[in-house]
Structure 1
Amino acid sequence: MPLKLLVKTRSVVCLSSCHLRLLSTEITTVVSPPQPPAEQEAPVIKQALEILRRPEKEWDAAQLNQILFSASPFFLFKIARRLPSSSQALKFLQFLRQSSSDPSPPPDERSLSHALQAVFELASRQPNSTQSVYEVYTASRDLGVQLTPNAAAILLRCLGRNGMMSEAEFFFNGFDSAVKNSHVRNVWIKLLLQSGRFDDALKVLDEMLQPNDFTAAQFFTFFLNWRSHGRLIPEEEMIDLVLKFARLGVFPTSVWTTQFVTMLSWKRKINSAWNLLDELMKLEAPVDAAPCNALLTGLGKEMDIKKMNAVMVKMKEAEIQPDVVTFGILINHLCKHRRLDQALEVLDKMQGEMSIEPDVVIFNTIIDGLSKVGRQEEAFELVEKMKSQHRGCSPNTVTYNCLIDGFCKAGEIDKGINLFHEMQEMELVPNAITVNTLVHGMCMYGRTSNAVRFFYEMRSKGLWGTAVSYTSLIDAFCKVNNIARAIEIFDEMVTDGFPPDSYVYYTLISGLTRAGRMNEALTYFQTLKDSGFSPDVVCYNVLISGLFNTNKADKAREIFEEMEKAGARPDGVTYNTLIAYHAKDGNFIEARKLLKKMVNEGHVPTVVTYGALIHAYCLNQKVNEAMALFKELRGSSKVTPNGVIYNILIDCLCKKQDVQQALALMDDMEVRGAKASANTFNAVFRALREERMVNKAFELMDRMVRQGINPDYMTMDILTEWLSGIGEMEKLRRFVEGCTVSEGDHAAGDGAAAAAS
């Protein structure tokens, strides 16, 4: 019967329980039957194969019977297995079945079944294995030879391997329950899981009396390769099944458990990972440090130091010995979160109580952590400790790089250079990171000439930095407005074979923009895009601001439109720049539109936003509009006016001779804690002088003293000219000495002072 008609003829095919009955003893993983000693098998097998390899019509049946039935029946399996093809092995099986009706002692059913198993094995290895296996199955049914579980498993595997799951399911369901032992069920579970039929595999699992390690392994593999099966198994379902196996005494190995915990942690299901490991420990599963380390890593990423400590307690209760990796994970995350004192405590505990020697990675982690928080001297002491106490854990290049970085960031460049020479004396080879660190440190603290000299000296010795070194030099020259040298370093970088990244381009564009060289900045901006980089919002903001500042408003708007089309979403800085320009230009309608658009896109206007508008209103003599916007700002709970905005308004009000409102703003400023400056008081002093309100000026002089604001030359110029004319130089002297000057009721004195003026 052709294989493709198998499904259509299922109702016709009769799988007799006799034919599929399991042999007397359940075989789970046996590949071949019990065998007699090797010295007995060779002659018999050789004689039988000499006959069977001839054409069938040349077989000497009598001689073959004499050979076969005078020897152990288990030879039948080995003989069938050594035949060149399944068709010849099947003919041998047919011969055996026909011989069983002869007067000579027939082969027992068990021997025939094992011979059939050998035929199945041969068929499964042939090119057209599916068709061959099915033909063997059909012939075995006609011969009435019983299937072994291994033969049934071969049939299922062959069909499943060729994607014929419907046919395989038909056969599996038709097998007698005795045939479907653990081995056969495991094979079927594996095929179901490989087909993504998780629920069907669970049903087969429920039918098994005693799942084994192989059963569990199929499900565990499925869980860890869930992406390849097109179905996301809920974590809770996975954990429940793992624990179900564990309660049956089938525990995941430490490797499996580690992989489960890692997967759950990666999916940010850290509580589920914790619960799984906790339950496995309670069930006395074989848990060692590895899965605990995986959990600690996940908790570290979640910054949950408290639970990391709880895991350590749990390990101690379960008598799980931490290893150097365990302590390394703890120390690494403590250092990342700037908890250096705790990291040092763990190091002491590791060496003392646990008698575990830290490796160089752990030392380097703590040294790097100490260096990053400005505790360079402690880091240096730890290096000295490594040298003296840990012969197998000597400082390496990474150790010194961490130290050098710490001293350079603290501005102690000379100590960094000394460490560089020390590492060379210790025959440690500096690397590109060493060069980058020292060059960047020198540039950051204004020692650009030294950085250039060091950079070229190292390069002449074959020790090159990376693009980081070039970028540091370019940035340093841009900051001192030496654009020509910055461009020269950039060109040299390209020539030396270091492709510029987006940050290098941004550094140069930013420097050119600060220098007002917008045409060159735009040229490098275009080169950045031509090189395949996408400018970010920061780069666009720098260009837009520079173009507005150099009166290239049309080009700035063009860049803004390009920014939106490129998908670089404008941020608050972008809108503040645009609003400030349009407001300063007197285009308040456009500025207000931009403010509305800014809010609609989810950006919260800041004090800078309001300050730019208020300043522009004041410049355009629109004091009422400025005050209205100020009241809107002051009424907002999210934005608080700063001293700059108060100063702008007070100066504008004073110029408009609205001194009373200016004084009210000064009072409000003090209440809200906004910092005034000498300029604030100078503006009010001028207005008070125009209004001849000298006693109010004395009150402001006292306020300056109380607030600790020192008068500048402009303050002294205003007050000297005014107070000398009305005979109040004594008060000015006291003011200069930092003493209060007001006396008595100033309200009554204002009129007399005004008359004297």
Structure 2
Amino acid sequence: MNRSLSSSKQSQLLLLRLLEPQTPTVPSYSLLRHLCTKPNPPPPPSPQDEDSLITKAVQLLQAPENENSGSTQLHQLLFSSSSPSSPGLFRKIARRLDSSSQALKFFDYIKSNAPSQDLHSLSSTFQAIFELASCEPDSQEKLLELYRTSKERNVPITINGVTLLVQCLGRAGMVAEVLSVVHALDSLYPSLKNTHFCNVVIDVLFRLEYADYAHNVVDEMLQPNAECPPNHITGDIVFSVLLRRKWPRGTFDEIVWLVSKFGECDRAWDVLHHVMKSGGAVETASCNALLTGLVRDEDFERMNKLTTEMIQMDIQPNVFLEKMKGGSEGVSVEPDVIIYNTLIDGLCKVGRQEEGLSLMEQMRSNKCVPNTVTYNCLIDGHGRINSAVEFFNEMQSNGLKGSAVTYTTLIKAFCNVNNIDKAMEFFNQTLKVGCTPDAIVYYTLISGLSLAGRMDDASCVVSKLKEAGFCLDTVSYNNLVSGFCKKNKLDRAYEMLKEMEQAGVKPDSVTYNILISYLSKTGNFTIAHTVMRKMVKEGIVPTVVTYGALIHAYCLNNKIDEAMKIFRDLSSASEVAPNTVIYNILIDSLCKNNDVELALSLMHDMKLVAVRPNITTYNAMFKGLRKKNLLEKAFELMDRMVEQACNPDYITMEVLTEWLSEVGETGKLKNFVEGYEVSASSG
């Protein structure tokens, strides 16, 4: 009964037809039926086959040693021609064993019996032994022994194994051993080093009060074309060290150095004000370095505040800022319209429109005439759109015509507050006054209308854009496809995709991500995976957004096992690394389904792969831990938040206040709020 087929289903079939390339030998209708009715061939081997093999292998390895048949069965299981093989199989088996000693015996068995000894496979298996040993008593001694064993048996060690070793030795305070391992890696395997390893090294050395050596490592990371360049975690570690000190070493040369190298204005701001409150001496060079960073970030609010504080401490701002302030004695160059506009724009962006207005009056008094850009800054910065319109009218009364930028700003402002009628009014006014809209005006309006769900109006603007001789770009097509998908008009989304194809505009990763997200959220996972395969076939690599859309949709549809399977595939096989958002989606879903243990395991994984949890991660975990009243785990996470300078929000405080009050642990909460360690306190 074809007439009973829903329009949504018809649209999905059309989408499949569009996305699948046509060939002369296969009629499109037959190909469409093939896609819709025939299941995809299962990939060899299936994950279940591998899981069964691993389980059986672990059972044989842990069986009593007097079972003579066990060794034969194990050899046939792992090395026969019919045995499935996949990257990391031996590592996965080793990870499932009960102890590092068992895993080491398994490694020796593999080394002796494998038909061909793959160094990479042996190294990854040896890493699994490191991972097991790191969780056992006397882990530092066991890891050191394993490290020596790897060198004796000529097995290249992985960087993850060395990282675990350094972390464990650092916790035990074994600084000489840490330095020995680092030096050995530099001389034997310098190409193995990566940014995560260097971050672990500097963190350990700072904690062990070997700051000079830690600074040397940071200096190496900051060299031009360094193989291990610093990232935001590097900056977090170094600035956290400064914040932990009662008195930073020597002068504030460190702050100058860190601001110039990392551009970490937020952290530098915290350090500087921490010292001010402690009564420490603050020097001009440090303040000027921070001011330079604030100007670069256009953070005029804090720039002005710091300038005031410097004057109060009798520290004068540098000549550049004096010139920007305008009119000061000793400044030979008067500020011009560009400098004024820069300041006005910065003030308006941080909500200080009144000061921006005052500065415009100062412009006039200094015979520096405001131009269209000046008014555009004020219009763009005014949170009240009515005031922006007043400036626009004043601008016109002063004989200045609105430019495409002016109209784009106003149209965008009204689109942002979903006042589409007013946005369309200014668009029509643009045409009436003879100010020919450029493509940006059309694109802005199409984007705003699509985001607001006004797809009929968006289609009307598309028609006018074409009449004006412009063409839609990829971003506009994506906005339209997204808008139609959100309105559940997949047939119109299909039309846009077909038009893209005819116009020679190729879909990009955003296009595919929009389709995959929509299809997944509506439960059409089969078609979503088909689209993803087409994406790969077109040479477009799925991004973390692609995988995140699928994982999020599976979680929304309460298919957490499927979500976890995609996550594991992503972690083990894909070149795309899971980010904080993906971890948060899974952790939140697992906690809501009372699988708190697996959620904690994911948080441990985040630490191993250097993905930084945020307040959303911690809030989800605290809610899950509260359900099971796992107080000790909550205390550990509270300490981790303090250590990482992750500030609690109102959700954190609401959950912890209610929970800890119920169990009589308000003292722990007080310590947490004040930034002290919780697990070590008496409560």
Per chain length, whose mean CA-contact separation is higher, i.e. which structure has more relative contact order (CA < 8 Å, sep 6+)? 2
TM-score by length of 1: 0.42
Largest Rg, 1 or 2: 1
TM-score by length of 2: 0.47
